[in-house]
């Protein structure tokens, strides 16, 4: 059916790359639609859940312009997945000023400070959650107070977890990143040069801003939350 | 003897197959088979326990959020964490509106078409429909013009040959008994409920960023910035918006859902004598109203009813739960008939069914991806009926009043509760009680904020270096579909074992090591089936449980495929 279709819209992260059943130690061999039928035209709308506005807009784009929207190398429409969450985030000014949430419910949490130190994956995640928002534009997780988990990115269940660990200072450089993770990061980077470029850019930005006391490690290998 | 298979049997989230044997126009035997497996429990092993809820929540996107709550509670139980009052109330608000939305969706969108003949609605008189609607409620859409519009919309569907959500019904079946006007009224409310549910669930977006899968839980409380006076936190504007959504939720329940349930039930009173099932009911209880964690303080109480005896409420302790895989596609090294408590639970997939596509599971000793959970070795039914029976028998005043009112309106006795119709009535009663309770919990939250208490999480155990090297926990929740439990074993700050025992596993359980049927299987025995090629009666009883197979089986049928004889869309 997929082969004969004008295009297939893969809705959600499971249709994109196998999603949760494809996470490490999953016994099922789940894969995404594009991997199942490599020759098919597949528009990927990852996210868990996908934002329904992006599905409507993808179809309306076809009806309006007579062609599918422009996509990145992972088949994701640029109008929805063309910009980092971090670059659209309403908490971004706090990041620039070095104001971070350090504990759930602290003053910074109430004042809307940046969630980067609580593990937010917005600096490495491409999606329009901050602007499109969910449920008729009502809200999105970072607005409420929880970090992004990176659910629109390839293999995010493994690549973005542990979800509360602060992003490493540079891919493949941090001491607690395993060889496997470096390998997969590189695969991701090859798949999308724009991703790699942008990650590097933001990682550089972070490194310049972090003082040495930022790097206190706790017993589980996670980076500390003391500033 | 006729044997029929219905696969999938649900209108949403497939992967459930029911096979029944019919003799003399009634069901003689039944088999319930979960046909999907995802392996979530295996995926969770070795991960950070604080991440578990984000994974576990994905067990289901229909009754979203319930697995997140059960999961954080399991870790908090293991680490002995008490969450602050604000977090407790926000969790009640999220879970409560989930009940209200989920139950209304179930009635209109997943179950009503077993009772409502959509095609018959085409022959209704719109003016008489408006009069009927106005006679049972003062809901404002009860006009001739409105129902003329509904009928035209429906006619367009039918004329186009694309019935969309109304495809594949058994339209014209003699078991449908509503007059055309009642059918048209129900179709009108079906469409209104679609818009209503989308609106009221925005509470999840306000408190959790999105629905499905709200994303604001953390082990220890909630990741919600909370301050009525902060422009960047959950503030006075949001609280007022939530109050408005709760008011709209309650309005629709009181003025549309409840009158519709009573009206439809009036035509199908014989279903108060069909579908009774095993007669054992269990509720973990939920909606804590204080910080002690004591189930005696829950709004919906904990307990068990055995053999339909409402004079005694038996206790429930999670150590009484165990699972058999005697007839399930799993293996236990020490024997598949062993009963294993979830802390010692194992998920070793071992498919032993026929190679798909197949016509029948007949002759296969193992026939489901569902395990067979038992409480002290007894099969149990869980869900709204179990909760209402436990509350009724426990002396819960609001529940007793509501149940007695409904029984009085329908002119039936308490024994009518043990039935297919009883499940539908219990779900409606529970919805009405919770829709009335939500504004109270919101007021409690506002009153607590007024005291200056802005605490939202206990973070003293956030850092894993504070944890013991080994810990075990149980997280329970009353999901809309029934008692839900997550069991976790933590070792060296990682998940050593994780097991979910979910409502549809209790209800959809296959036979156990003693050959006793699960709740759905037992409830089907004796169900009349007028036409084996159109078994709408089987659907009525199974759907009355609100089956949801997404979470009942945790890995994909490795062979894939589908042997679909009868599809329910």
Tell me the pLDDT tens digit for each residue of A21-59: 999 998 889 999 999 999 999 999 999 999 999 999 999
- With contacts defined as CB-CB under 8 Å, which chain A residues touch B208? 141, 144
Active site residue B504: yes
Residue B215 to residue A74: CA distance in whole angstroms: 25
pLDDT confidence of residue A173: 34
User: Count of residues for chain A?
Assistant: 227
Helix (H, G, I), strand (E, B) or coil at A219: coil
Residue B275 to residue B283: CA distance in whole angstroms: 20
Return per-residue pLDDT of chain B as tens, 569 residues.
Answer: 788 787 766 554 557 888 999 999 999 999 998 877 778 889 999 999 999 999 999 987 667 899 999 999 999 999 999 999 999 999 999 999 999 999 999 999 989 999 999 999 999 999 999 999 999 999 999 999 999 999 999 999 888 877 766 766 788 999 999 999 999 999 999 999 999 999 999 999 999 999 999 999 999 999 999 999 999 999 999 999 999 999 999 999 999 999 999 999 999 999 999 999 999 999 999 999 999 999 999 999 999 999 999 999 999 999 999 999 999 999 999 999 899 999 999 888 889 888 877 888 888 999 998 999 999 999 999 999 999 999 999 999 999 999 999 999 999 999 999 999 999 999 999 999 999 999 999 999 999 999 999 999 999 999 999 999 999 999 999 999 999 999 999 999 999 999 999 998 999 999 999 999 999 999 999 999 998 888 899 999 999 999 875 444 332 222 333 222 443 32
Task: Pick the catalytic residue from B106, B481, B517, B543.
Answer: B481
- With contacts defined as CB-CB under 8 Å, which chain B residues touch A1? none
Minimal C-alpha gap between B228 and chain A (Å): 10
Residue A150 to residue B290: CA distance in whole angstroms: 35
**pLDDT tens-digit readout, A123-152:** 999 999 999 999 999 999 999 999 999 999
Only one residue has tokens 């299987």, namely B521
Give B27's strand partners.
B22
Residue A207 has pLDDT above 80, yes or no: no
- With contacts defined as CB-CB under 8 Å, which chain B residues touch A163? 48, 50-51, 54
pLDDT confidence of residue B365: 92
Q: Which of A94, A73, A70, A89 lies closest to A127 in space, CA to CA?
A: A89
Q: Is the torsion defined by CA of B542, B544, B550, B554 positive or negative? A: negative
pLDDT confidence of residue B8: 65
- What is the percent of chain A with per-residue pLDDT over 70, rounded to a whole number? 74
Contact between residue B62 and residue B473 where contact means Cβ atoms under 8 Å apart: no
Neighbours of A102 (CB within 10 A): 17
Q: How many helices (H) and strands (E) does chain B have?
A: 17, 14
Residue B313 to residue B388: CA distance in whole angstroms: 12
B contact test, residue of A135, A148, A157, A160 with most B CBs within 10 A: A135
Helix (H, G, I), strand (E, B) or coil at A144: helix
B contact test, residue of A102, A129, A134, A143 with most B CBs within 10 A: A134
Task: Pick the catalytic residue from B328, B368, B548, B554.
Answer: B548
Contact between residue A178 and residue A185 where contact means Cβ atoms under 8 Å apart: no
Q: Which of B344, B373, B320, B343 lies closest to B482 in space, CA to CA?
A: B373
CATH of A1-77, one of 3.30.360.10, 3.20.20.70, 3.10.20.90, 3.40.50.700: 3.40.50.700
pLDDT confidence of residue B11: 53
pLDDT confidence of residue B86: 98
For the record, the structure tokens of A176 come out as 């607690």
Measured CA to CA in angstroms, residue B456 lies from A201, B218, B402 at distances of 35, 10, 34
How far does CA B352 lie from the centroid of its chain? 29
Residue B548 to residue B212: CA distance in whole angstroms: 15
**pLDDT tens-digit readout, B170-181:** 889 999 999 999
Whether pTM > 0.95 for this model: the answer is no
Q: Which of B223, B288, B290 lies closest to B50 in space, CA to CA?
A: B223
Task: Pick the catalytic residue from B67, B204, B304, B423.
Answer: B67
Closest to B209 (Cβ–Cβ): which among A29, A143, A157? Answer: A143
For the record, the structure tokens of B366 come out as 């193992």
Contact criterion met (CB < 8 Å) for A141 and B43: no
Minimal C-alpha gap between A145 and chain B (Å): 5
Closest to A218 (Cβ–Cβ): which among B211, B221, B464? Answer: B464
pLDDT confidence of residue B241: 98
User: Count of residues for chain B?
Assistant: 569
**pLDDT tens-digit readout, B30-70:** 999 887 777 888 999 999 999 999 999 998 766 789 999 99
Instruction: Let me know if B506 is exposed, middle or buried by CB neighbors in 10 A (0-12, 13-18, 19+).
Output: buried
Minimal C-alpha gap between A76 and chain B (Å): 21
Contact between residue A20 and residue B55 where contact means Cβ atoms under 8 Å apart: yes
Neighbours of A65 (CB within 10 A): 9
pLDDT confidence of residue A27: 86
Closest to A104 (Cβ–Cβ): which among B221, B493, B558? Answer: B221
**Given pLDDT bands bounded at 50, 70 and 90, which one contains residue A189?**
very low
How far does CA B122 lie from the centroid of its chain? 32
Under CATH, what is the fold of the domain A83-227? Answer: Cytochrome-c3 Hydrogenase; Chain A, domain 2 (4.10.480)
Only one residue has tokens 């429906």, namely B154
Under CATH, what is the fold of the domain B2-552? Answer: Cytochrome-c3 Hydrogenase; chain B (1.10.645)
Contact between residue A102 and residue B463 where contact means Cβ atoms under 8 Å apart: no
Residue B165 to residue B190: CA distance in whole angstroms: 11
For the record, the structure tokens of A167 come out as 């992003």
Comparing A203 with B339, which gets the higher pLDDT? B339
Strongest mean pLDDT among A164-168, A200-204, B216-220: B216-220
Residue A211 has pLDDT above 50, yes or no: no
Residue B488 to residue B17: CA distance in whole angstroms: 30
- With contacts defined as CB-CB under 8 Å, which chain B residues touch A157? 43, 55
- With contacts defined as CB-CB under 8 Å, which chain A residues touch B223? 104, 109, 118, 144-147
Closest to A135 (Cβ–Cβ): which among B51, B205, B222? Answer: B205
Domain coordinates in residue numbering, chain A: 1-77, 83-227
Contact between residue A124 and residue A153 where contact means Cβ atoms under 8 Å apart: yes
Residue B18 to residue A74: CA distance in whole angstroms: 40
Neighbours of B97 (CB within 10 A): 25
Chain B residue whose CA is closest to A105:
B456
Residue B69 to residue A122: CA distance in whole angstroms: 24
pLDDT confidence of residue A71: 98
Residue B464 to residue B478: CA distance in whole angstroms: 28
């Amino acid at each position: 059916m997929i082969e004969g279709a004008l295009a297939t819209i893969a809705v959600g992260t499971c249709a994109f790359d196998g999603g949760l059943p494809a996470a490490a130690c999953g016994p099922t061999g789940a894969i995404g639609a594009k991997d199942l039928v490599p020759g098919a035209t597949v528009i990927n709308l990852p996210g868990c859940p996908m934002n329904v506005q992006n599905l409507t807009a993808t179809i309306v784009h076809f009806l309006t312009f007579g062609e599918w929207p422009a996509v990145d190398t992972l088949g994701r429409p640029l109008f929805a997945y063309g910009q980092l969450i971090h670059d659209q985030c309403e908490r971004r000014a706090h990041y620039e000023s070095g104001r971070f949430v350090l504990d759930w419910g602290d003053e910074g949490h109430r004042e809307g400070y940046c969630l980067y130190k609580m593990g937010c994956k917005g600096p490495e995640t491409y999606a329009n959650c901050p602007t499109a928002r969910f449920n008729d534009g009502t809200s999105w997780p970072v607005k409420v107070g929880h970090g992004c988990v990176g659910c629109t990115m390839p293999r995010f269940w493994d690549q973005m977890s542990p979800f509360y660990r602060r992003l490493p200072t540079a891919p493949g450089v941090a001491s607690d990143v395993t060889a496997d993770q470096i390998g997969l990061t590189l695969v991701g980077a090859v798949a999308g040069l724009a991703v790699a470029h942008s990650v590097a850019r933001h990682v550089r930005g972070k490194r310049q801003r972090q003082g040495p006391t930022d790097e206190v490690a706790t017993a589980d290998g996670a980076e500390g939350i003391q500033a | 003897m006729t044997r029929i298979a219905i696969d999938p049997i649900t209108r949403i989230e497939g992967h459930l197959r029911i096979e029944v044997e019919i003799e003399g126009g009634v069901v003689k035997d039944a088999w319930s088979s979960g046909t999907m497996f995802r392996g979530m429990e295996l995926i969770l092993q070795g991960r950070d326990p604080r991440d578990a809820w984000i994974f576990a929540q994905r067990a289901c996107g229909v009754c979203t959020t319930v697995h997140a709550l059960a999961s954080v509670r399991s870790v908090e139980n293991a680490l002995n964490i008490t969450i602050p009052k604000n977090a407790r109330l926000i969790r009640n608000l999220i879970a409560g509106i989930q009940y209200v939305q989920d139950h209304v969706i179930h009635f209109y969108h997943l179950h009503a078409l077993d009772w409502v003949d959509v095609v018959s609605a085409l022959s209704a008189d719109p003016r008489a429909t408006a009069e009927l609607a106005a006679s049972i409620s003062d809901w404002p859409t009860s006009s001739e013009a409105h129902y003329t519009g509904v009928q035209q919309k429906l006619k367009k569907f039918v004329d186009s040959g694309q019935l969309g959500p109304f495809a594949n019904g058994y339209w014209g079946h003699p078991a449908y008994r509503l007059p055309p006007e009642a059918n048209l009224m129900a179709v009108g409310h079906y469409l209104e409920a679609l818009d209503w549910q989308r609106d009221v669930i925005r509470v999840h977006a306000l408190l959790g960023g999105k629905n499905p899968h709200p994303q604001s839980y953390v082990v220890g409380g909630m990741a919600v910035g909370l301050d009525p006076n902060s422009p960047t936190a959950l503030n006075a504007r949001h609280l007022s918006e939530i109050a408005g959504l709760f008011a709209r939720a309650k309005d629709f329940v009181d003025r549309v859902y409840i009158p519709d349930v009573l009206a439809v039930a009036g035509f199908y009173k014989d279903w108060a004598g069909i579908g009774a099932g095993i007669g054992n009911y269990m509720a973990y209880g939920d909606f804590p109203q204080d910080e002690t964690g004591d189930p005696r303080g829950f709004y919906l109480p904990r307990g068990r009813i055995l053999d339909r005896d409402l004079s005694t409420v038996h206790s429930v302790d999670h150590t009484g739960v165990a699972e058999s895989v005697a007839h399930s596609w799993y293996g236990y090294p020490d024997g598949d008939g062993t009963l294993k408590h979830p802390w010692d639970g194992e998920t070793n997939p071992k498919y032993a069914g026929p190679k798909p596509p197949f016509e029948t599971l007949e002759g296969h000793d193992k026939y489901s991806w569902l395990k067979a959970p038992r409480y002290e070795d007894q099969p149990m039914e869980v869900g709204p009926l179990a909760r209402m029976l436990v509350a009724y028998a426990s002396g819960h005043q609001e529940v007793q009043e509501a149940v007695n009112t409904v029984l009085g309106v329908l002119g039936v006795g308490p024994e009518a509760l043990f039935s297919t119709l009883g499940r539908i009535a219990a779900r409606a009663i529970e919805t009405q009680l919770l829709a009335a309770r939500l504004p109270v919990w919101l007021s409690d939250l506002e009153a607590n904020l007024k005291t200056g208490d802005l605490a939202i999480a206990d973070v003293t155990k956030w850092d894993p270096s504070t944890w013991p090297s080994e810990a075990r926990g149980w997280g329970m929740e009353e999901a809309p579909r029934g008692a839900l439990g997550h069991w976790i074993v933590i070792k060296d700050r990682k998940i050593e074992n994780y097991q979910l025992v979910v409502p549809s596993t209790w209800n959809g359980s296959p036979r156990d090591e003693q050959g006793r049927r699960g709740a759905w299987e037992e409830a089907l025995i004796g169900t009349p089936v007028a036409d084996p090629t159109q078994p709408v009666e089987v659907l009525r009883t199974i759907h009355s449980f609100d089956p949801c197979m997404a979470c009942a089986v945790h890995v994909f049928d490795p062979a894939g495929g589908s042997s679909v004889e009868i599809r329910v869309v």
